[in-house]
């Protein structure tokens, strides 16, 4: 989330210290990992807001335009992947590919993807954490997912099985 090692180390330390001090507040019906992730996420978002000089929950200027679903770009490179995620995840070089694709997302799309798809926040929780509407959150999530799909498929897709855009029919 933070894209800077020092900030990431500070937030990691802060998270574990906070967890240590608030162990009595942990409700055993929730997963411990989830609880830790929530503490970490809120700490990281605080750092991001501070970087931007923002005091409010929202991570962007009030003038930011609302994202629209009809402005989401269409998939370009469409192909089945050569290997399954289970096979790919074993490979060391995959992590670099995933990190690079994530880094190329706009921060506003990356944060929604990380909270929703990686950390398992609900759409409502993601919207609240980032000071967005649910509608805006969903559009940003769609953009993030499609952009990551595009980039990963260019590397992991089987070029022999590529579906060309000109054959992308409208039904």
Partner 1 sequence: MKCEELLAMLNEYVDGTIDPVVCKDFEQHLAGCNPCQVVVDNIRKTITLYKEGQPYELPVAFRNRLHSVLRQRWKETHAAPPKPK
Q: Which residues are at the interface with partner 1 (CB under 8 A)?
A: 9, 12-13, 16-17, 20-21, 69-70, 72, 74-75, 78-81, 84-86, 88-89, 94-95, 98, 102, 113, 117-118, 138, 141-142, 145-146, 148-149, 152-153, 157, 163, 167-171
Backbone angles phi, psi at 149, to 5 degrees: -60, -45
Q: How far is the CB of 52 from partner 1 (least distance, A)?
A: 24
Between 49 and 145, CB nearer to partner 1: 145
CA–CA distance, 138 with 144 (Å, rounded to integer): 10
Q: How far is the CB of 127 from partner 1 (least distance, A)?
A: 13
Residues 6+ apart with CB under 8 A from 10: 47
Between 57 and 89, CB nearer to partner 1: 89
Q: In this structure, what DSSP letter does residue 82 have?
A: S
Q: Are 122 and 134 in contact (CB under 8 A)?
A: no
CA–CA distance, 46 with 14 (Å, rounded to integer): 12
CA–CA distance, 145 with 105 (Å, rounded to integer): 10
Q: How far is the CB of 43 from partner 1 (least distance, A)?
A: 14
Dihedral of CA 119/123/125/130: which sign?
A: positive
Q: How far is the CB of 29 from partner 1 (least distance, A)?
A: 22
Residues 6+ apart with CB under 8 A from 125: 115
Between 27 and 74, CB nearer to partner 1: 74
Between 53 and 85, CB nearer to partner 1: 85
Between 49 and 149, CB nearer to partner 1: 149
Q: How far is the CB of 2 from partner 1 (least distance, A)?
A: 12
Q: Are 13 and 4 in contact (CB under 8 A)?
A: no
């Amino acid at each position: 989330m933070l894209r800077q090692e020092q900030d990431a180390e500070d937030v990691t330390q802060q998270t574990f210290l906070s967890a240590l001090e608030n162990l009595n507040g942990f409700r055993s019906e929730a997963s411990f990992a989830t609880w830790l992730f929530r503490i970490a996420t809120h700490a990281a978002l605080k750092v991001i807001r501070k970087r931007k000089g923002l005091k409010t929950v929202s991570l962007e200027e009030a003038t930011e335009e609302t994202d629209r679903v009809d402005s989401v770009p269409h998939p370009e490179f469409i192909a089945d992947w050569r290997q399954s995620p289970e096979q790919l995840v074993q490979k060391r070089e995959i992590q670099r590919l995933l990190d690079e694709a994530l880094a190329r997302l706009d921060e506003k799309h990356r944060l929604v993807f990380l909270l929703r798809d990686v950390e398992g926040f609900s759409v409502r929780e993601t919207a609240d954490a980032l000071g967005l509407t649910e509608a805006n959150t969903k559009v940003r999530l769609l953009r993030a997912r499609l952009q990551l799909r595009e980039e990963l498929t260019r590397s992991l897709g089987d070029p022999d099985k590529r579906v060309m855009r000109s054959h992308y029919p409208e039904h």
